[in-house]
Amino acid sequence: MATQTLTSDNPQPMLNATKLRAREVSLFYGQFQALRNISLEIPERAVTAIIGPSGCGKSSFLRLFNRMNDLIVDTRVTGNVELDGFDVYGKDIDVVDVRKRVGMVFQRPNPFPMSIFENVAFGPRRHGMKNPVELAAVVEKSLRQSALWDEVKDKLHQSGMALSGGQQQRLCIARVLAVEPEVILMDEPCSALDPVATLKIEDLMRTLCAEYTIIIVTHNMQQAARVSDITAFFMMEEDRAGVLIESGQTSHIFTNPRDKCTEDYITGRFG
């Protein structure tokens, strides 16, 4: 049977339509249940923040959308995880296509041990782009989108490992952008950065969400309030399974949450 790619008859859906959806999703690592019955809609071209105490499954939930949890032995997912209405865990879905459309930026910058240019060109090369002129154009566009071009345009052939921490993280964002994703997952992307570099990444997120759907996991409540349009609050139950307590517009979650646990967490009473 041919492998199904995730395509849509409507490649330009209306602004703020649902881009990603979890329906009654549970995640198991062996016998341990990491997530229980999570249902959440992620709007397109917006920033959604996932907040909650350590260990409540925020990163595990994030990795559902590009199937990164598949890399962990004995992982099982129940329920539905959808991208543009397609179940990304369907048996005929092309996982490479999923990960091209749903890119990921990790907690610590992880540039490849190669030049700045080759870091950004890596993905397009893997997907078959060989023309040097086209590659150069993609590299420049991606570095401009990640607000890094002006800082590195004269040293593209120097090692990406030589950049500062904040620059390395923006290089990793450029590397994701180079394969033209629709969604960018960010797992605590500023936790290893200083305040100046953090603000640059936050400004970048607000710029990128005009074109991309962004989900960020963060422990920084001020950051969630500054950058996100939607906030989802997770907690652990007694058996350590992560559950969704509530979600909604960030302004509402931070000023008038429905659940007392949400209010206690965002005001620092626990967590």
> Among residues of the chain, what percentage have pLDDT more than 70?
94
Whether 65 is covered by a domain: the verdict is yes
Residue 55 belongs to a domain with what CATH number? 3.40.50.300
Look at residue 271 in the predicted model and tell me its pLDDT.
Answer: 58
The total number of residues shown for the chain amounts to 271
Residue owning tokens 């959604």: 48
The candidate with the shortest Cα–Cα distance to 44, out of 211, 202, 162, is: 211
Structure-token pair, residue 116: 């700045």
Whether 71 is covered by a domain: the verdict is yes
Residue owning tokens 């859906």: 13
Instruction: Please give the tally of structural domains in the chain.
Output: 1
Whether 99 is covered by a domain: the verdict is yes
Structure-token pair, residue 254: 């931070």
pLDDT bin (cut points 50, 70, 90) of residue 268 is confident
Look at residue 16 in the predicted model and tell me its pLDDT.
Answer: 74
pLDDT bin (cut points 50, 70, 90) of residue 210 is very high
| Average model confidence (pLDDT) across the chain | 93
Find the domain containing 60 and state its range: 18-108+181-266
Whether 59 is covered by a domain: the verdict is yes
> Cα dihedral sign for 195, 111, 81, 73?
negative
Look at residue 117 in the predicted model and tell me its pLDDT.
Answer: 98
- For 140-168, how does the pLDDT look when each residue is reduced to its tens digit (9 = 90+)? 999 999 999 999 999 999 999 999 999 99
User: What torsion, rounded to 10 degrees, do the Cα atoms 25, 30, 31, 33 define?
Assistant: -30
pTM of the full structure: 0.91
Q: 229 with 250: CB under 8 angstroms?
A: yes
Q: 62 with 215: CB under 8 angstroms?
A: yes
pLDDT at 44 over 70: yes
Question: What secondary structure does DSSP assign to 132-173, as a single string?
Answer: HHHHHHHHHHHHHHTT-HHHHTT-TTSBGGGS-HHHHHHHHH
- Per the model's pLDDT, the better-predicted residue between 97 and 10 turns out to be 97
Whether 100 is covered by a domain: the verdict is yes
Structure-token pair, residue 87: 């179940």
Whether 186 is covered by a domain: the verdict is yes
Whether 41 is covered by a domain: the verdict is yes
Whether 62 is covered by a domain: the verdict is yes
Q: What share of the chain is helix, strand, coil (3-state, %, to 5)?
A: 35, 25, 35
- For 96-118, how does the pLDDT look when each residue is reduced to its tens digit (9 = 90+)? 999 999 999 999 999 999 999 99
- For 60-71, how does the pLDDT look when each residue is reduced to its tens digit (9 = 90+)? 999 999 999 999
Distance CA 253, CA 257 (A): 5
